[in-house]
Amino acid sequence: MVTVTSRLNVMNRLGRAMADPTRSRLLLTLLEGPAYPAELARALELTRPNVSNHLACLRDCGIVVAEPEGRKTRYKIADPHLTRALNALVETTLSVDEHAPCLDPACSVASCENAGAEV
């Protein structure tokens, strides 16, 4: 049974994860696909220890999972539903900027320039 307390805990974990700019950058990168810490550090111009610390936080929040592959560990968003929700959040946030184009070609929002567009 989902309770107000459990929903509040989920919101707090998500908020904690996204409140830090580095963690947000990591999440945006992982939305593109799984990655290794060394790749993330290079792509985001961060140190590997910094990336590892932030990935540990995201893992503790239940947002990413670590998949051991031999001596390496690959990180990805924990669940496809979460990936979809995070992408929707990013798209919704972008739509608040009136100059940002809608990212959904099949958007059904009446005031959107893509509303009713063919896919």
| CATH 1.10.10.10, applies to 7-91 | yes
φ, ψ of residue 60 in degrees (nearest 5): -65, -30
Q: Does the structure show a pLDDT above 80 at 88?
A: yes
Provide the CA 75 distance to its chain's centre, in angstroms: 12
Provide the pLDDT confidence category of residue 15 given band limits of 50, 70 and 90.
Answer: confident
List, in order, residues 6 or more apart from 103 with CB less than 8 Å away. Answer: 91, 94
What does 3-60 look like in DSSP terms, one character per residue? -HHHHHHHHHHHHHHHHSHHHHHHHHHHHT--B-HHHHHHHHT--HHHHHHHHHHHHH
Query: What residue spans define the domains of the chain?
Result: 7-91
Identify whether the C-beta of residue 118 lies closer than 8 Å to the C-beta of residue 107: no
Identify whether the C-beta of residue 17 lies closer than 8 Å to the C-beta of residue 57: yes
Report the chain's mean pLDDT, rounded to a whole number.
85
pLDDT tens digits for range 20-38? 999 999 999 999 999 999 9
31-46 average pLDDT score: 97
Q: What percent of the chain has pLDDT over 70?
A: 82
Higher pLDDT, 112 or 41: 41
